[in-house]
A and B are shown apart, each in its own frame.
Chain A
Amino acid sequence: MPSSSESGPIRVSFRRRMMNHVVTLAAAMAVLLVLVPLTAIFAYLVYKGVGSLNWAFLTQIPKPVGEPGGGMANAIAGSALILLIASAMGVPIGIGAGIYLAEYARNRMGDLVRFTADVLNGVPSIVVGIVAYGIVVLAQGHFSALAGGFALGMMMIPTITRATEEMLLLVPRAIREAAYGLGISRWRTTLSITLRTATSGVITGVMLAFARVAGETAPLLFTAFGNQYWNWKINQPTAALSLQVFTYAISPFDEWHRQAWAGALILIVLIVIAVSALRMAASRGMLKGSS
């Protein structure tokens, strides 16, 4: 605060100094107020979740209402299945579109794709659910893991596309030119040199997209639908961790509430691991070859 020193030639009036302090205090209060729910949510998750977490929760399927015990093993597996399908769809298309934007389309067409990706990013997740219902569920005739994966895959694409593009653009031109100079063809250069140089950045983007859809519930409500039993078939209704947490949270049973907290804890632990890994990758530097 250089201006508040009284010795200088400029005398700062009391009112202005007070205003400065008031605003600083208000901003600090805002930070505290925002940190309160953050810590409260994590504290509650750990406090309620850890108490309900046990081996049965991780290995058993839900028991009928009224019977104690049971778990969410099928929901954890279902989430894994759905996310696998989503990644199988979202990652290649996202990376491909990112490569196209960075390497081939510094033009009008590129602008259009970029804009469309941003639009896709802003589509409410519940609307994505409606579309997946119309395309996959109606075509198949029933709810399925495939439909859920399709919905989440759709949501992964724009994030991955934009991240890939950004990372590829960070790779210096000289590296591409060096490869061309060695007589390496363009596609080989893109895959084995440019993309490879940007690998850690692209992985960060993929994980960001993954973390974002891992906890999504709304698009799964009428695509994956949920299931009280084991299911490994991709064309059958499938349980998902987030769906199960939702169903249990709005139920009137204490036992289910307890399990909802445990499920939420598992969900958040998985996501926090992904986000911190991402953070670490980001701080290690996106590009190995440059700088």
Chain B
Amino acid sequence: MSNRALGAPRSPGPQPVVKSGIASEASSRSQALLKAGNPRIWDGLFHLAMLACALCVLALVGVIIYELTTRSQLSWKAFGWRFFFASEWDPVNEHFGAWPFVYGTIVSSLLALFLAVPLALGVAMFITEMCPRGLQEALAFATELLAAIPSVIYGLWAIFVLVPLLREYIEPWLARYFGWTGLFTGAPYGIGMLAAGMILAIMVVPIISSIAREVMMAVPQQQREAVLALGATRWEMIRIGVLRNARAGILGAVILGLGRALGETMAVTMVIGNRPEIAASLFAPGYTMASVIANEFSEAATDTYLSALVQVGLALFLVTIIVNILAQVLVWSVTRGMPARGHA
């Protein structure tokens, strides 16, 4: 085993030859390993080098915070907190208010969660508790594949497939039967908040379902057996034995999905319409924080304009970080072997 650890054996031949071969190779290797200079100095240097790499990680986050705060100074000074609640975005006269973007980010993300959470939980439940063994692996792989598709390809697909579908069939249908809610009124362009929400939903399903799957699998088998022994059906077993024990982690998975949806840029930019307007109808075009940065950053002509965009970025950074930390803590509470007890 020790020689395998050294990575020595590549081609096993006849027995006796192999034995002596390994022995001599191992001894020559360990000679080579022993040769290196003064071990104290090299050990110290190596430790320092690895520490430097670790400090790089710390430094990167420090640099992100520093860059975002210093480069948004101008905008902070000019607009302060009102920046996030003012709804005028007028680069020509340098009046900047980010409310349309904040609104668009929140609405598109919540819409995405509304569509994605039931699906993702269904998928996670099906894979962990219901489906036959053989299918388990294949389905898990398929959902992982969905997570590996780059955002720009989702956007491409959304522009040429999802949007025409929405425009021709789904939106007219929604307008006819659900127009009275006020959410589905106006001209069905296809492009707009609904399209953004739907493509985001497709993108966050694999994230939520894979974490939820992990959390559900962390629930001890005895929990399931105990509930089944009481005469529960499979659904009752899942509800009482699995979901209840894993609920904190599942909430964490959902929040992790939210974090992804908030920061998602390309696919949303390609289909949301990019108009800083606030409309009740989901058919209307909108704009998100990430997409305004993507569209306008390289065209921002003045310092204040650029600074305002960085301020949007800073807000986006802080919100996603808080959301992600919250999610991590919730997921850990389940996967670290102690089922979270909400109210005992």
Contacts and interface: CB of A to CB of B under 8 A. Distances in A.
Contacts of B151: 215-218
Contacts of B154: 41
A275 interface: yes
A3 interface: yes
B112 interface: no
Contacts of B125: 27
B34 interface: yes
Given A34-B146, A275-B148, A289-B5, A127 B57 contact: no
Contacts of B1: 289
Nearest to B29: A192
B183 to A, nearest CB: 21
Interface residues of A, number: 111
Contacts of A37: 146, 202
Interface in B145-164: 145-146, 148-157, 159-161
A38 B235 CA distance: 27
B155 A249 contact: yes
Contact of A154 (B60, B236, B310): B60
Given A16-B236, A34-B205, A215 B265 contact: no
A281 interface: no
A19 B240 CA distance: 14
Interface stretch (A60-68, A69-77, A179-187, A228-236): A179-187
B53 A96 contact: yes
Contacts of A120: 57, 60-61, 64
Given A116-B61, A178-B2, A221-B298, A124 B316 contact: yes
B24 interface: no
* Size bracket, chain B contacts: 35 or more
Given A120-B60, A197-B5, A272 B150 contact: no
24 contacts: A27-B123, A30-B126, A31-B127, A38-B143, A40-B157, A93-B53, A96-B54, A118-B325, A119-B321, A119-B325, A123-B64, A125-B265, A126-B263, A130-B313, A131-B67, A175-B2, A182-B33, A197-B7, A217-B266, A218-B266, A222-B298, A250-B270, A267-B150, A288-B7
Interface of B: 1-2, 4-7, 30, 33-34, 36, 39, 42-43, 45-47, 49-54, 56-58, 60-61, 63-64, 67-68, 71, 118-123, 125-127, 130-131, 139, 141-146, 148-157, 159-161, 202, 205-206, 209, 228, 231-236, 238, 259, 262-266, 270, 290, 293-294, 297-298, 309-310, 313, 316-317, 320-321, 323-325, 328
Interface of A: 1-4, 10, 12, 16-17, 19-20, 23-24, 26-31, 33-35, 37-38, 40-41, 44-45, 48, 92-97, 99-101, 103-105, 109, 112-113, 116-131, 133-135, 154, 157-158, 161, 175, 178-179, 182-188, 190-193, 196-197, 199, 211-212, 214-218, 221-222, 225, 242, 245-246, 249-250, 257, 260-261, 264, 267-268, 271-272, 275, 279, 288-290
